[in-house]
A = this chain, B = another copy of it.
């Protein structure tokens, strides 16, 4: 085996190779690279900051929780069980973390040209000070290096949070969550600002597995059995108020379609009663979700919580993987999504109201220029979320800026979301976003579309200003 190549992060990485653009991109990037991170949407478990214990090992830190990683390995024929992904029903799985890590190193070349590769290189280099590129040959050396670091107090969750310069981190929490971790965190005296986000999908989506149990749990949380649509609404309002007391500034709605439609009270009640009896139909569920989005917008106008709509994923496309390993295992596949007609009822009723902020995301980038930028460029209440999920990438962000800005400007967008489950990837993701935005603006300056003074204001807004404003932080 020849000598392992060095892992180096070029200071101009991701910038256009044109020297004039690159110089401008570097200048703009340097003006924001050290700004605090605002992470208003993600899936980090708040309990890691309560416990604040060392991460067990590199495999459990990087690979197991990150479906961006194991989906790619699985696509190339590496069985899930050999990657240590825990099966639901106790079938055998690899539990030698080192062996899994070696397989990861052997196949790390699969991530060439992917954002996952870019993030991991950043994490290895910047967070852990690794100097060799990750391959099968270097895997075990890197494993030991990271393992040693993880034992140090500097690599405990709270220490990393502070080192990452995170100003605020939002978690995503079910409507039925006690927010016990958030309560403990507040009680602990630690200064890190970690806030919840109210996500009621498991009770508003009648097709959710265990929906009935979720409804019962929700009733338990508010101390009142939910036997009617009206009591559901009251419970949700009650929970939103509680989330607000715990620092929440936003709600999140992961719907398959962004269809919105207000139902007469009697119809909503009838559907809800059918659901309680276990006889609701697919159409019932569609209508109920569409109606609940209307209700959530109404509540947002009343309580000020920023509403986020994340539509368009066919969750758990691979039934075998779902049954064997559960949700969030890399087989959520995007669907074509329609916004102009689907959001019409919500935007007509609430979109002119300045008290509402509704942030819309998409997994269907054909809607950026056709539907979302024209909508966000008109309705005062609507803002456009950043390039999301599969589009949270260098080329994905470039297409987003190219397709959105000319119609909606940058001021109808909301900065960056990392949306990550992998805590250690947060600085890598924000760094990549700041670089790509800097490079985009550098291109505008080099083509004399905006002045450098304007670009400096714009990069500050994209990296920091817009997210703070949109999420009322």
Residues of B within 8 A of A72 (CB): 377, 409
The B-contacting residues of A in range 96-114, CB under 8 angstroms, are 109-114
Q: Please tell me if the beta carbons of A17 and B13 are within 8 angstroms of each other in the complex.
A: no
Residues of B within 8 A of A369 (CB): 365, 390-391, 396
Q: Does A136 sit at the interface, judged by CB under 8 A?
A: no
Partner of A335, one of B75, B340, B391, B394: B340
Q: Does A298 sit at the interface, judged by CB under 8 A?
A: no
Partner of A377, one of B71, B370, B378: B71
Residues of B within 8 A of A75 (CB): 376-380, 382, 408, 412
Q: Please tell me if the beta carbons of A13 and B449 are within 8 angstroms of each other in the complex.
A: yes
Q: Please tell me if the beta carbons of B76 and A412 are within 8 angstroms of each other in the complex.
A: yes
Q: Please tell me if the beta carbons of A16 and B447 are within 8 angstroms of each other in the complex.
A: yes
Residues of B within 8 A of A113 (CB): 405-406, 409-410, 444, 449-450, 458
Q: Does A393 sit at the interface, judged by CB under 8 A?
A: yes
A167 to B412, CA, bound (A): 39
Choose the segment among A35-43, A200-208, A277-285, A326-334 that binds chain B (4+ C-beta atoms closer than 8 Å): A326-334
The B-contacting residues of A in range 310-347, CB under 8 angstroms, are 314, 317-321, 330-336, 338, 340-341, 344, 347
CB distance from A219 to the nearest CB of B (A): 35
A406 to B118, CA, bound (A): 10
Closest to A373 in B: B390
Q: Does A56 sit at the interface, judged by CB under 8 A?
A: no
Choose the segment among A143-151, A221-229, A240-248, A348-356 that binds chain B (4+ C-beta atoms closer than 8 Å): A348-356
**Among A17, A314, A348, A379, residue most surrounded by chain B Cβ atoms (within 10 Å):** A17
Q: Does A129 sit at the interface, judged by CB under 8 A?
A: no
The B-contacting residues of A in range 232-284, CB under 8 angstroms, are none
Q: Please tell me if the beta carbons of B447 and A15 are within 8 angstroms of each other in the complex.
A: yes
CB distance from A65 to the nearest CB of B (A): 17
Q: Please tell me if the beta carbons of B371 and A394 are within 8 angstroms of each other in the complex.
A: no
Q: Does A448 sit at the interface, judged by CB under 8 A?
A: yes
Please, what's the 1-or-0 string for A101-139, where 1 marks a CB less than 8 Å from any CB in chain B? 000000001111111001000000000000001000000
Residues of B within 8 A of A211 (CB): none
A341 to B315, CA, bound (A): 11
**Among A15, A377, A394, residue most surrounded by chain B Cβ atoms (within 10 Å):** A377
Q: Please tell me if the beta carbons of A403 and B407 are within 8 angstroms of each other in the complex.
A: no
Q: Does A18 sit at the interface, judged by CB under 8 A?
A: yes
Q: Does A395 sit at the interface, judged by CB under 8 A?
A: yes
Q: Does A180 sit at the interface, judged by CB under 8 A?
A: no
Q: Does A183 sit at the interface, judged by CB under 8 A?
A: no
**Among A109, A314, A406, A457, residue most surrounded by chain B Cβ atoms (within 10 Å):** A406
Q: Please tell me if the beta carbons of B331 and A378 are within 8 angstroms of each other in the complex.
A: yes
Q: Please tell me if the beta carbons of B379 and A318 are within 8 angstroms of each other in the complex.
A: yes
Q: Does A303 sit at the interface, judged by CB under 8 A?
A: no
Q: Does A423 sit at the interface, judged by CB under 8 A?
A: no
Partner of A20, one of B17, B377, B405, B409: B17
CB distance from A118 to the nearest CB of B (A): 7
Given the known inter-chain contacts A75-B380, A113-B450, A411-B110, please indicate yes or no for A314 contacting B334, CB distance below 8 A.
no
CB distance from A395 to the nearest CB of B (A): 5
Q: Please tell me if the beta carbons of B320 and A110 are within 8 angstroms of each other in the complex.
A: no
Partner of A338, one of B14, B118, B336: B336
Q: A113-B410, A314-B344, A374-B390 given. 17 additional CB < 8 A pairs?
A: A5-B451, A18-B18, A72-B409, A74-B380, A75-B382, A76-B380, A113-B409, A118-B449, A314-B340, A317-B347, A321-B352, A331-B378, A333-B374, A336-B370, A364-B370, A394-B406, A396-B406
